[in-house]
Structure 1
Amino acid sequence: MKKNLVYGLLALATLSISLNSCRTDEMLTGTEQAQKEKIAFFERFEKERSLSKNAESNNYALPFANSMLAYFSNYPEKKTELENKYGTVDLSVSSQDMDLENGRKLLMFPMLTDGKVTAVIGGVINEERDFLYFDVYKENHPDRSFLIKTFQNHYSAKAVSRNDSNNPINVGDVIIIVKKPQLTKPDPFDDPGGNGGHDMGGGNGDFTDGGSGGNNPNTPNTTNPCEKMKEQNQNTEFKAKVAEIDKKEIFDKDKETGFSAAYGQPKTNYEPLSNNNDNLKFPHGNKYYGYMHAHLDSKDGIVRIFSPADIFTFLTTCVRNAETKGSMTDAYGMVITSQGNYILKYSGDGSFGIGPGTLARWQSSYEKVFSNLTESQLLDPVVLEKAFTQFMDEKVKIDGLEVYKSEKETGNTTKLKYNKETNSVVPTPC
């Protein structure tokens, strides 16, 4: 398959976007665990395939299907969301697997509503078998109608209704031969760092086309983070939302509270973040460029500054959505705690890459740092700020990613940066 092969797909694999309050004993998130499960499917399959003479063992639909099932198992709400919009994925019917450049593979499954094929979803796995995504073909893609018709011919001929159970045991019984996708634009998988929005560990992908670019009319044109925050802090609605979170009764709750900031007309829209097992999640859509949320006092071991998941979500959701809808400097992430309020900003060019194992690596390093702090140190903002900025400098290492402290009374911000030579935090007031 030529390099510029494109599927013109809509993102499925990046649907789960969450903000986790970080405890010192926190384990890997469910998303990262699911990713390792999916990769194991391919490793097992290819080992067995290399030792087996059974022709059925050559069907890559099995690991692709089991990967999708693992994802749906971890995120059942996303399965429901996908089915409501496109139909049920029939994992007992697939295309042949197609070899792409650099050892990648593509495979497709039909999606049905009331027994009719209404969409086609494709999966791509890289040569290393450590990066996988699934996307739904867009309505305007030149291959979409052909693929739907080709799969539908099978159901029409066999009078097969949709497979509601999605049982992977029978995967590969039916293989539909389809043509390779047409060449239309650069292959999104050419960016294995995750910038294309297909990383199953998180990102800005959803079921929309991403919308058109251009600045939001209500977004200040300045690109200076300090100026952005000064203008934001003068906004009555922003200040009201911060005040709604920044109070003792919120910190004493047993569940976190938060809001998302979305581009809107004629002003920014603030919508509540849903709380699922103490993981805050954005509403559906890709218009969200910012968030604010609380870290609690009611639970032991809470780190009262950003968690790795907070950073991950800021970069893969807020920055990428702002890049599409406005300007990357619009993006912000805010954590509000009883000890201090902090803001993440990004002033880079968007060239950072975040892969499927990034969050797990950050989480592991983060836990090593903060689990070594005593309870009194965890209650000391100076200690936390040094530990966090050092973690950002040495482990996250993304140019343009900045952290600011926001004064509770005035909202004035100060940039916090770790200095290796002095092993200390250098504050720079805006």
Structure 2
Amino acid sequence: MKKNLLLRLCLIMSAILALSSCIHDEVYSSSDPSSTEYTNKTLWKQDEKYIKNVLDVYSENENDIRKGSGVPLWDYATTVESFDESFLMVPVVEDNKVVSVLQVPRKGDKVHFYYTNFAAQISFFQGLVFAKHKKVITRESSVSAKSISCTTQSFAIWYPADESNPDPESGEGSWGTRTIVVCRELLEDCAGIVDEFGQCPGGGGGDPPGFPYPGGGNNDPEEEETPCEKVNETINDADFKNKFDELNTTSNFNLDHEVGYLEQNGQFLPAASTSCGNSLEAKVTTSQCITGIMHTHTAKQCNGYYSGRVPSWGDIMVFLHLPVVQAKNCLGSSKEAYHVTITSGGSYMIKYNNDNPPTNTNYNFEAGEVWYENALQKLENTNQSTQQNIENLFMEFIDTYANIDGLEVYKMEGNTAKKLAYNSTTKTTSLLPCP
């Protein structure tokens, strides 16, 4: 599983290498931004047609595109294993140092220019441009859960033990890895400088509608996955499935507290509530980026309380205030957020099928909580608490008190999921199979 690629994007740090005058001269003499000549000086094959076309667009519109200082070194541009005229990255250098990375995605017949300052990207290009001895190492590529298309390129730099003999063929030393990760959907809604947490304060060249791309946009990237496809992709992700199977046990349902995981930057952090509690606690970094939550509900009474066999009103509230917001900040879209509730009656995933978080977060949950708890108790008292009736009640609660466009609930069944569809007239719920 390659979801930890996103974590690497924020965390990989490397020392800046010493520069030699010969490399300095070569870099600047061959990368005149006003020149339309291009020579691939990276370690990989590139989509040279796209690079040259983008270079032409940049040269014609430099005054509108260029932000800040530095010179883009087009000979070191990389399309990161993309050959469909869809994306490139090029280092921007000032005073022998990579100061930012210019990223250029194509959307239809327009290209957009974004300046980013991810530490890992800067470190990657610093070594690629200026290191004397470097070699390609195994490249990983994957499409991670939740439809984020990620590609990784790695190469190694030689760190000599003795500067008097820096040749890796004869001298002692070690190889250090530099890695770059591209998850192109990080850029969908941002123009300008992007910080290491994927947040964009705005501004920058290439704001929509962008710049016309020579030759139009006949080779559009693949269409976005449907909500069902996103859910099924998440369910079948190896890391996700391992954590889910670990939680989905009778012994966990019989605990007097909830247990679970928070997904942060592609890693799963253990979380648990206190005894008889229903609020998960976990150690997270200050950057947050909590984009997914999965947890259990207890099946036994504990001081008169049990979690229940479907998600709670609190689960929805937490989902809308945390993963939905953080997925937008860190992954570029709130569609990537999820909240899973694992119960003795079934497992459910809450999703939000909109790119941006809801603008109104003051939902009528206070009144809804009272109604929901009373209605659940009524089912118990009248011996009508079948799983179907509980699902009907839960969806009625959403329809009445959390009627938010894009809020969806899926029931997880093995390696697939079914969407819960609510009929407000009959107040019943049906399961719609995902295609």
TM range (shorter): 0.3 to 0.5
Larger Rg belongs to: 2
Normalised by the length of structure 2, the TM-score is 0.45
TM-score in terms of structure 1 length: 0.45
Larger RCO (CA within 8 A; separation ≥ 6): 1
Q: Which has the higher strand share?
A: 2
The structure where helix makes up a greater share of residues is: 1
